[in-house]
Amino acid sequence: MNPDKWLKENTYHHSAFANIADLVKEKKKKGYKISLCIPTLNEEKTIGKEIIIFKSELMNRVPLIDEIAVIDSGSTDKTREIASEYGADVYLSSEILPGIESKKGKGENLWKAIYQLEGDIIVYIDADIKNIHPRFVYGLLGPLIYRDEVMYVKAFYDRPLAFSDGIRPTGGGRVTEILIRPLFSLFYPELTPIIQPLSGEYAVRREVLEKIPFPIGYGVETSHLLDIYHEQGMQAFAQTDLDQRVHRNQPTRDLGKMAFGILQAFFKRLAAHDIVKFKEFESQILRQFQAHDNNFEVIEIHIREEERPPMIDIPEYRKKRGIK
């Protein structure tokens, strides 16, 4: 599909779906159950506000979503207590599928949500959004509810960088601009119209989620796009402009760790899709440097982008969903 044509036909603004009552009517007509998943790790400062807004506006006032669940990685602050107090279903990731060795990572939480939650559609929203608003959910659900052929809806937005003297209106998305966009342009040019491929906000049909593998770490969003594109093409995707997202920004050193994990997932798919062949990675050590006066120290960080298999391959999931 021509990128310009896809961009024109599959890019929305959240305001197109602001009539939530109409969304609810169409949702009921099609018999959808919708789950909201918020993966967390030490998010006590923002999780309460997110749950209050989503529960009051999208469950109590209008029944757009049917469950709100926090899947937590083992927070040491009050994230779980606050989430439970404000009405979310709260789960420890390590206690879901107890027969499978638990691992740490956001992707692990997203994967286990497929098992734990009941929705035909699952909406994933990060827990650190400071300007949270119902549009973060209904803006993503609109294309899925109204268009049966759409399977996966990504968010995009302006991501201002926070400084001590206020908000700078441009910036953010650094890994996207210096890593993902060049890689897509080289190897998957049809994916280039996806404006923010690494956004943590997206809504997906269960029938898609259960059939794709999940990196447990930084590569999860990139791998989703590559795997779904490989199987279904660009017609499976849509994207929604959510205006602006204000959140904490990571230090450059941490972005290097993210890029290293993403590259592992990306290269694995280049090989799987018969685009480029690689030898097995010789090293999973990222080397960074820090200076102490005139002395330079090498910091070695082991990053292995492990992956979970498609959930539909897990016997416990098949039994729970009645899949023979």
Exposure of 150 in the CB half-sphere (CA atoms within 13 A): 24
Phi, psi of 124 (to 5 degrees): -105, 125
Where helices occur in the chain by DSSP H, the ranges are: 3-10, 20-30, 47-55, 79-85, 106-116, 135-146, 174-175, 181-187, 206-209, 220-232, 252-272, 315-321
* pLDDT attached to residue 278: 72
Q: Answer whether 0.85 is exceeded by the pTM.
A: yes
Q: Is 106 helix (H, G, I), strand (E, B) or coil?
A: helix
* pLDDT attached to residue 249: 65
Name the region of 234 (left: φ>0; alpha: ψ -120 to 50; beta: rest): alpha
Q: 240 pairs with which residues across the strands?
A: 12, 155
Q: Which residue do the tokens 């966009």 mark?
A: 181
Q: Among 127, 154, 140, which residue's Cα sits nearest to residue 53?
A: 127
* pLDDT attached to residue 65: 98
* pLDDT attached to residue 210: 98
* pLDDT attached to residue 169: 42
Pull the structure tokens for residue 248.
């904490």
Domain chopping of the chain, boundaries: 3-250
Q: 69 pairs with which residues across the strands?
A: 37, 89
In CATH terms, 3-250 corresponds, of 3.40.50.2300, 3.90.550.10, 2.60.120.200, 3.30.70.3270, to 3.90.550.10
Burial of 273 (0-12, 13-18, 19+ CB in 10 A): middle
Q: Cβ–Cβ contacts within 10 Å for residue 170, how many?
A: 8
* pLDDT attached to residue 139: 98
Kind and range of the H or E element at 89?
strand 89-92
* pLDDT attached to residue 256: 87
Question: From first to last of its 324 residues, what are the pLDDT tens digits of the chain?
Answer: 688 899 999 999 999 999 999 999 999 999 999 999 999 999 999 999 999 999 999 999 999 999 999 999 999 999 999 999 999 999 999 999 999 999 999 999 999 999 999 999 999 999 999 999 999 999 999 999 999 999 999 999 985 444 445 543 434 478 999 999 999 999 999 999 999 999 999 999 999 999 999 999 999 999 999 999 999 999 999 999 999 888 566 777 888 888 989 999 999 999 999 998 876 666 787 777 677 777 777 777 776 789 999 999 999 999 999 998
